[in-house]
A and B are shown apart, each in its own frame.
Chain A
Amino acid sequence: MATQQTQLLARTLLTPAVALLFIWMIVPLALTIYFATLHYNLLDPGSESFVGLENFRYFLTDPAFLASLQNTLVLVGSVLAITILLGVPLALLLDQQVVGLSIVRLMVIAPFFVMPTVSALVWKNLLMHPVSGLFAWIAHLFGLPAIDWFNDAPLFSVILIISWQWLPFATLILLTALQSLDEEQKEAAEMDGASALSAFIYITLPHLARPITVVILIETIFLLTVFAEIFVTTGGGPGLQTTNIAFLIYSQALIQYDVGSASAGGLVAVVLANIVAFFLVRIVGRNLEA
């Protein structure tokens, strides 16, 4: 009797959250699918008509789509590579005996808490400005020509800023994982005469495999839809050089008011994200049972 009552209560408590998330997931997605089959432009109201898969054909064959897909992949891949290749050694370093470690850790983690619009604008103006930026001055000190970052290497500039934001995240997760590594195991390896390198390859690296996977998946989910950093620095340009899928959809929806095409693009983004989500959910699910 009591358990039945508890069960009922439990279900009642769960319902609002489930219902809200269900609506949140289903309604906009259904609308996106619906809009994607319409010719629908906000500048031309009343002209809505069913066009089937025409928007998908238009979106997928648009040269801007291929360019933005490529930019998205390059951006995600580069940021992942940078944050993990720098994050692993950084985490290893912070796992050593360091005087004042807590302060160092605060400094390392700080960029993650800076809002995207601030980091993008501070980097763009104060650091990367071709004339008055700090980088230009440093280049000048070494007798090198200043780089006009956002004109000569726009995508790389965006990648640099985003990597700076996400490096703390990768480092912090890898560091947490390192700290759960069994001390005894490391000591045993040391006693057996294993070199630092082989201890790293055979003990530490396998231990890091899972956290690295988690970092890759979570960063990918966020990086696939990077928006603010591009919005405030390059506006997708010059040309299409820094337009990623998210920015392309935004510009089709809220600049060109082409609801149909933007919706088709939105669904492409959902599919892309779902491929990643599939793997992430499996990893998390496995952990839930353990």
Chain B
Amino acid sequence: MARMVTTRHKVISTVAAWLVGFLIFFPILWMVLASFKTELEAFAIPPSFLFFHWTTENYVTVQERSDYLHHALNSIIIAGGSTLIAMLIAIPAAWSMAFSPTKRTKDVLLWMLSTKMMPPVGVLVPIYLIYRNLGLLDTRTGLVFILCLGNLPIVIWMLFTYFKEIPKDILEAARMDGATIGRELIYVLTPMAVPGLASTLLLNLILAWNEAFWTLNLSTLEAAPLTVFIASYSSPEGLFWAKLSAASTLAIAPILVLGWFSQRQLVRGLTFGAVK
């Protein structure tokens, strides 16, 4: 009897979960389908779900007409560059706070967190003017720099929570054996820190890839990453749905894959360790 109830329970929750999951995922699926339709079919009523003339023509046109690869490359450079630089600055800082904490470490951490709370729009005006005067508007350097600063607090926080979990006894043991700090870093700390480093890197790549405030405001064409490129589809209504879908599918596909790998770290990184 009890077993019957459990099985029924399982069937019901499975069906419900799949249904809800499908509904939530549907807009993405619908977009991917539209990217394989002709413009006419993408716009057609009633819509065709699977039985349409599948074509990859949109993907070709998107590249030919609007130089998709140029913007994809911008995205890669901006997201990758800002994440790497942020990591280079954050690793020593997080290492130092996790392994040689002082009385003020907690305050420093919370202060870093509070810089992330500043709404970007609050400093839009000065940043825009500074960038204009320095000739950094619509440059990849400018965007790398600003996204790096924007994500730095999250990177430091994530690394800190990972580093703190590395048992200190091991480091002490290494020190007793006469390991220098350099050796300690390379042979003891690094192997234990790699998983944390990898997930921090991943999450911040995703955040930087999808960043759509600074990229929209500080770049127009030359340095425009995919967020801005997609936004350019907002004006001509209707006729470009299939191409919009193709460009969008290409823009989100790599990040969707990375994101799925990093869902656990997402919680940790975005809640600053408040929920584990």
Contacts and interface: CB of A to CB of B under 8 A. Distances in A.
Interface residues on B, range: 35 or more
A59 interface: no
B50 to A, nearest CB: 14
B134 interface: no
B144 interface: no
Interface stretch (A11-19, A74-82, A198-206): A11-19
A111 B24 contact: yes
Among A113, A136, A249, the most chain B Cβ lie within 10 Å of the Cβ of A113
Contacts of B272: 284
B187 interface: no
A232 B234 contact: yes
Contacts of B258: 113
Contacts of B10: 96-99
Interface stretch (A118-126, A151-159, A181-189): A118-126
A281 B271 contact: no
B216 A228 contact: yes
Main secondary structure of the interface of A (DSSP, over half): helix
Interface string B1-35: 00000100110011011101110110110110010
A269 B89 contact: no
B233 A121 contact: yes
A284 B273 contact: yes
Given A14-B96, A108-B20, A218-B270, A31 B126 contact: yes
Given A6-B100, A106-B260, A281-B114, A17 B93 contact: yes
B195 interface: no
Contacts of B119: 221, 224-225, 246, 266, 269-270, 272-273
Nearest to A125: B241
Interface string B198-231: 0000000010011011001100000000111011
A155 B198 CA distance: 39
Among B110, B124, B152, B230, the most chain A Cβ lie within 10 Å of the Cβ of B124
A25 B109 CA distance: 14
Contacts of A180: 276
Interface residues of A, number: 107
A156 to B, nearest CB: 17
Given A172-B266, A228-B213, A267 B28 contact: no
B45 A13 contact: no
Nearest to A115: B210
A9 B27 contact: no
A245 B121 contact: yes
B92 A16 contact: yes
A115 B226 contact: yes
A114 B113 contact: no
A6 B102 CA distance: 12
Given A96-B9, A110-B25, A27 B126 contact: yes
Interface in A252-290: 253-254, 259, 262-263, 266-267, 269-270, 272-274, 276-277, 280-281, 283-285, 287-289
A43 interface: no
Among A104, A117, A168, the most chain B Cβ lie within 10 Å of the Cβ of A117
Interface of A: 6-7, 9-11, 13-14, 16-18, 20-21, 24-25, 27-29, 31-32, 35, 90, 93-94, 96-101, 103-119, 121-127, 129, 131-132, 134, 136-137, 140, 164, 167-169, 172-173, 176-177, 180, 210-211, 214, 218, 221, 224-225, 227-228, 231-233, 245-246, 249-250, 253-254, 259, 262-263, 266-267, 269-270, 272-274, 276-277, 280-281, 283-285, 287-289
11 contacts: A31-B126, A35-B126, A90-B20, A96-B10, A122-B248, A137-B47, A176-B264, A228-B231, A266-B124, A266-B125, A270-B122
